[in-house]
Amino acid sequence: MTEWTGQADWAREAWGSIVNKVARTSKRIGDGFPHASVNGQYKLEPASWWTAGFWPGLLWLIYRDTKDESLRLLAESCERQLDQVIMDYYKLDHDIGFMWTLTSVARYKLLGADDSKRRALLAANLLAARFNVQGGYIRAWNPWREGERNEGWAIIDCMMNLPLLHWAAKTTGDPRYKHIAVRHADTVLEHFIRPDGSVNHIVIFDPETGEKVGVNGGQGYAPESAWSRGTAWALYGMSLSHMHTGSEAYLNAAKRVAHFFIANLPEDHVPHWDFRLPEDVPAYRDSSAGACAACGLLLLADQVGGREAALYRRAGENILHSLYANYGAWETEAEEGLILHGTSHFPEQKNIDVPLIYGDYYFAEGIARLNGSRELFW
Ligand code: GLY
């Protein structure tokens, strides 16, 4: 088996395909907020939707390499539009992390912009304010409908929101943000990650006592199944928590989840939307889970040594290569998505077997890393 060196032609070619395609699609998408591509065109969502950071994040990834000013202007316009929603308590949830990490933190890291720093710190404060001290978890959502009580709900996706808190701790020198991120990650170790490396999507706590009271299948097939994107959130999120804290417990958790993820991949290395589906349930792929997990695997490879590093790097490379070669929509003008066959929410029958903007973002982040760009916005 050949060791991945980061220099292979296909990864350079893939980056070129991404840059060319986004140059084209950015003419129509502009400073909008795409989520899922339906019939070849990205449907635009309000700025308050949780996916609002991924398109500007993708633009920043490309700007970092090409310095294309037209992409910078679009990403900055997206960021300014988020100013409207930061005041809207009811519309924002814990995905503040995704939203402001890939807009304001990205711009601050790339350009040192002071207004972006202020925005990201405000967002970090809102995220920190969702922490339940008694239960040691960050509350996921506000009520989706009148009368819903979800003060005790925490979800695995939040692992990817924690980097905003670590960034705020480092930027201000105030460790409170880090303490919250660590307490939440410790709760995930205790209550979300199962002994076999699979994960729960939703864990429900009593918001008064902090006791765990149950689990919910959420976007997975069932409470005891294994939603693949949730597994990817855990894998990458734990690797990032290790990167920010140096904690061996997070590194070991990332490895455990990685082993479960890799062991359950089909032959083309791109996961089905849930790893534990009964025969009679359609096994659509979720390319976004593959793309996110690949980024986690590449980071993990850099956090360990020797044969382990080669195993994780090879697994991440295999996923990205398959996404490029078998799932990429490079030749057609009739599709705005970069990679096909994502599944957003099978239980609610939403956005099934379509390109998803977070799949595109993580695919581009992973390919950029293979080409030598190691600085992360997370
Ligand atoms: N954070 C929601 C999702 O992964 O679809």
In a domain, 166, yes or no: yes
Respond yes or no: is residue 65 known to be catalytic.
Answer: no
State pLDDT tens for residues 301-352: 999 989 999 999 999 999 999 999 999 999 888 999 999 999 999 999 999 9
- Cβ distance 229 to 219 under 8 Å? yes
CA of 45 to the centre of ligand 1 (A): 15
Number of structural domains (the chain) is 1
State pLDDT tens for residues 93-147: 999 999 999 999 999 999 999 999 999 999 999 999 999 999 999 999 999 999 9
- Kindly compute the dihedral angle of the four CA atoms of residues 245, 251, 253, 254, in this order, to the nearest 10 degrees: 110
- Identify which of 50, 153, 236, 286 to mutate to test ligand 1's pocket (most ligand atoms within 8 A of the CB): 50
The enclosing H or E element of 153 equals strand 153-155
In a domain, 94, yes or no: yes
Nearest CA to ligand 1 atom 1: 157
Number of helical H runs and strand E runs in the chain: 13, 9
In a domain, 2, yes or no: no
State pLDDT tens for residues 205-236: 999 999 999 999 999 999 999 999 999 999 99
Residue 194 CA neighbour count, 13 Å, CB half: 17
CATH of the domain at 27: 1.50.10.10
- Identify which of 157, 274, 343, 361 to mutate to test ligand 1's pocket (most ligand atoms within 8 A of the CB): 157
Can you give the pLDDT at residue 281? Answer: 98
Residues 137, 200: Cα–Cα separation, whole Å? 14
In a domain, 376, yes or no: no
pLDDT band at 8 (very low <50, low <70, confident <90, very high): confident
In a domain, 350, yes or no: yes
Catalytic residue among 31, 93, 157, 286: 157
Can you give the pLDDT at residue 307? Answer: 94
**Averaged pLDDT score across all residues of the chain:** 97
Burial 321-341 (b: 16+ CB within 10 A, else e): bbbbeebbbbeeeebbbbbbb
Domain that holds residue 63: 9-370
Residues 72, 275: Cα–Cα separation, whole Å? 38
Enter the tokens of residue 361.
């973002």
Can you give the pLDDT at residue 4? Answer: 45
In a domain, 274, yes or no: yes
Can you give the pLDDT at residue 232? Answer: 99
